[in-house]
Structure 1
Amino acid sequence: MTLHDVLQNKPGGVITIPADMDLLEAINTMCERKVGALLVTAADGSLHGIATERDILRYCSSSKGNLQGAVVEDAMTRQLIVASPDTSVDEAMTLMTEHRFRHLPVLENGIPTGMISIGDLVKAQLTDITVEATYLREYISYS
């Protein structure tokens, strides 16, 4: 199974925001959309960074909670590890585990096509395992 397959089953599409968005507005977007991270794009649609709950907490801590005048670019992560739609679920899980992050941007020709969370990957693997177990039970019972 590839990330393309996982994204096909994920509702909502890709959520992107501009780097100059007010940080509080980005927090509200996360709450409204019930997501833990947002992709930050440049004017040309290319990926500029990612803003995660953890990034925002770190910024709040360093600024002593003062969000006045803060924009997404102040808090976002710029150095990203990304994947393509052809990346396997196993490869994505390995990347996320080795580098200790929970959200993986998926890019095609440099443009974000979605974002995969560790929860999305666990759900995909559980679905595969459940289907495999069902087929094995049926095979055993008919033998």
Structure 2
Amino acid sequence: MSKPDSLRLSPRRLEQLHAIAGALGLSVTETITHMIRREIAAGTIPAAVPGFAVKKEADGVSIQIDNGPGKTYSVEGARALAATIRGTVAGEVGVFSVKHGYSFIRLGRGFKLSSPMPGSEVSMTGDLAIDLAEQIEKAAA
């Protein structure tokens, strides 16, 4: 995964962004996430998390990170992964699941997913992790 890009805004737009954040009681980063999720809900952009291919399969849920190898999890394994992501973001200890073949751990202020384990790894923020968990849950339903 590449380094995050910098976002250049005019001071006036930045002031407006801070005003929105203040009105919503969010950080600027959380406000951007809020705006993106609002556009997903409105149908402006798809709900898929860029860099992740999450698909319902006949025998479970396949997950591929970027161009790495994909892994098909049983429905039980996919639900366990989604629950692990949600729990770890909420403050629980991360999990190395040998049974299902993944790991999701806290790494500094962010998180790291390995899928399959061992295999592709990706670091992400908590908000992206929650969005990914939602995509996995939908595919496992």
TM-score with structure 1 setting the length: 0.28
Identify the structure with the greater helix proportion.
1
Which structure: greater strand fraction? Answer: 2
TM-score (norm 2): 0.29
